[in-house]
Structure 1
Amino acid sequence: MLAPPYWITNRGVDEFKGEELQKFESACQEFMDIFEEEEKSFPPVYGSAGYRAGIMRSGWKIGNFWYFHALKNPKGLFNLFVQHIQPIFEPRRDSGFAEMVAAYWAPDAREVVAAKRLDKKYEEELRRLFEAGQSVENP
């Protein structure tokens, strides 16, 4: 992966949002500008007319910077996904995206959700009966 280093603003890769993200974007642009100038002083790699700075800029533009850092940083994976990757595909948080990907939480996610729903129903029935002072039958 060719990308600007995430540490150029002394932050963790999963800490960029708001003002910190703006600072980081500015630092990345400066890094890529300098990288491009330095790169032009050397002959192209393997006779290619393209430059690595262009690859970095493209990766930054399409978001693969966040994708590859999420893969390399399990600790920050969730934050990187929610803050930088998911908005590329579905910018609205209330769009049902979480419901759509819920099946990938665990191999038996549907069964877990079904069991949780039954548990919730049982808790509600238990609460209702307790408040009414009646005996409870376990399902």
Structure 2
Amino acid sequence: MIHPPFWLTNDEWDEIREDEYDLLRLEFMDALKHEEEKLAVPTALLPANQPLSAIMQRAWDMGTIWFNLALETPLETNRIFYYHIQPRLAAAHGQDPKFREIMQCY
């Protein structure tokens, strides 16, 4: 999966603070979009008919950056899960009475 680079804040991946990272990510994404516009490659020639910046934005919106980092570093999977993945899931399903019961397994 393609996602924004985790090293933008110069922190180790397990020390990333999302609010600080997001500011730098937005700056990076603006620069990437600007470079894509200068290249003017027809969308039909791009992977998935989308520019890289759109694919990276969707990966950020979906939270796949955290999932991929967890897969790359199995020893820290719990930390990534509890700080980055579970809060996203809780936002959508936190009111479901089964949510806490299911999440305990992880």
TM bin (shorter chain): 0.7 to 0.9
Give the counterpart letter for 1:75 in structure 2: L
Q: Match of 2:100? A: 95
Q: Match of 2:13? A: 13
TM-score by structure 1 length?
0.60
Q: State the Cα RMSD in Å.
A: 2.1
Relative CO higher for 1 or 2, CA cutoff 8 Å, sep ≥ 6? 2
**CA shift at 1:50, angstroms?**
1.9
Q: Which runs of 5+ in 1 are unaligned?
A: 103-139
Percent of counterpart pairs with the same letter? 29
2: CA distance between counterparts of 1:7 and 1:66? 13
Q: Match of 1:72? A: 72
Q: Which runs of 5+ in 2 are unaligned?
A: none
Report which of the two structures shows the higher radius of gyration computed on alpha carbons.
1
* 2:15 aligned counterpart, secondary structure: coil
Runs of 4+ in structure 1 deviating by more than 3 angstroms, as ranges, are none
**CA shift at 1:34, angstroms?**
0.7
Higher helix share: 2
TM-score by structure 2 length?
0.77
* Paired residues, number: 96
